């Protein structure tokens, strides 16, 4: 039994790392669409065809379930993928609902970080409309962050400066929670922690996604627990350098789910 994870790049590894923690006895196939990353600044039509092509490549290799470990790809293509394939498919959306619920008692606002494309989709509007009765959710696109991440730019000073400039217009005292609505962003949790006021909490959808994966495998009657936690990597460009980068990135986040040290 093989569980596939799909993302535009190394972001989905933050979700895979969570799966390796919670479901350590499965086998995994991780695909990054390196020829087309980043998705978040491209057109919906282009991204849709990149996703359909990438997932088809994974299906050829062989998967029994699929996690679309990308908020952007989920908002563009999850329905179409579910129509095409009969195996279970889990998508991701920014964790706005749990953030609003958990933040309720603080009386403060929620700030959602995601890619421009995710924030432009009707799926995102519908989500916010559904869960944000009090009108406390604000959204901030961070398109450069995916590019920094793909370049493995984890230098604390550089990235602190970047986040400070992005957040300069916000009065952070008004906020109680930040939603990391793109799977590339959790790499920066440690660095964000350095610059955010201590009362602000961060949330991503990774743990919830793996819980749903586990429940769905059960519901489909897919036998689990017979793997060894092996991970095979593939990428659309078949670039050996990128395959190495994926291994390095997974090792960097595997323990804590975010980068704890600078890489040069």
Q: Which residues bind ligand DGL (CB under 6 A)?
A: 7-9, 11, 37-40, 70-72, 115, 118, 146, 182-184
User: Distance between terminal CA atoms of the chain?
Assistant: 37
Q: Report the distance separating Cα 11 and Cα 248, nearest Å.
A: 13
- The distance of closest approach from Cβ of residue 7 to ligand DGL in the complex, given in angstroms and rounded to an integer, is 5
Residues 46, 246 contacting (CB under 8 angstroms): no
Q: Output the six-digit token pair for 191.
A: 């660095």
Tell the smallest beta-carbon distance from residue 204 to ligand DGL (Å).
10
Our answer to whether residue 182 is catalytic in this structure is yes
Measured from the CB atom, is 71 or 236 closer to ligand DGL?
71
DSSP type of residue 155: -
- Catalytic site residue 70? yes
Phi, psi of 109 (to 5 degrees): -90, 170
Cα–Cα distance measured from residue 170 to residue 164, given in angstroms and rounded to the nearest whole number: 10
Catalytic residue selected from 17, 177, 182, 253? 182
Q: In terms of CB distance, is 11 or 54 closer to ligand DGL?
A: 11
Which residue is catalytic, options 70, 81, 114, 137? 70
Minimum CB distance to ligand DGL smaller for 57 or for 224: 57
Torsion angles phi and psi, residue 234, rounded to 5? -140, 155
Nearest approach in angstroms of CB 134 to ligand DGL is: 26
Residue 70 CB, shortest distance to ligand DGL, in Å, is: 4
The phi and psi torsions of 137 (rounded to 5 degrees) equal: -100, 130
Cis preceding-peptide flag for 38 (omega within 30 of 0): yes
Which is nearer to ligand DGL, 104 or 205 (by Cβ)? 205
Q: Catalytic amino acids?
A: 70, 182
């Amino acid at each position: 039994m093989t569980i596939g994870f799909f993302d535009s790049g190394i972001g989905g590894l933050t979700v895979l790392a969570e799966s390796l923690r919670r479901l350590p006895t499965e086998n995994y196939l991780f695909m990054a669409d390196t020829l087309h990353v980043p998705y978040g600044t491209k057109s919906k039509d282009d991204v849709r065809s990149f996703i359909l092509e990438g997932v088809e490549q994974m299906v050829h290799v062989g998967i029994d379930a699929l996690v679309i470990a990308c908020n952007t790809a989920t908002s563009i293509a999850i329905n179409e993928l579910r129509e095409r394939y009969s195996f279970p498919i889990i998508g991701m959306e920014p964790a706005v609902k749990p953030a609003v619920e958990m933040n309720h008692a603080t009386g403060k606002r929620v700030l959602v970080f995601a890619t421009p494309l995710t924030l432009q989709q009707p799926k995102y509007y519908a989500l916010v409309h559904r869960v944000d009765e009090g009108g406390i959710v604000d959204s901030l696109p961070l398109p450069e962050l995916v590019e920094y991440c793909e370049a493995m730019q984890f230098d604390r000073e550089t990235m602190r400066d970047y986040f400070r400039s992005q957040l300069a217009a916000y009065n952070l005292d008004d906020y109680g929670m930040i939603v990391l609505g793109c799977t590339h962003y959790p790499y920066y949790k440690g660095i964000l922690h350095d610059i955010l006021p201590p009362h602000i909490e961060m949330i991503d959808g990774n743990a919830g996604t793996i819980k749903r994966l586990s429940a769905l495998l059960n519901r489909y009657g897919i036998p689990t627990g017979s793997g060894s936690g092996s991970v095979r990597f593939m990428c659309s460009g078949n670039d050996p350098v990128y395959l190495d980068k994926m291994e390095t990135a997974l090792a960097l986040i595997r323990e804590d789910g975010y980068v704890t040290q600078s890489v040069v």
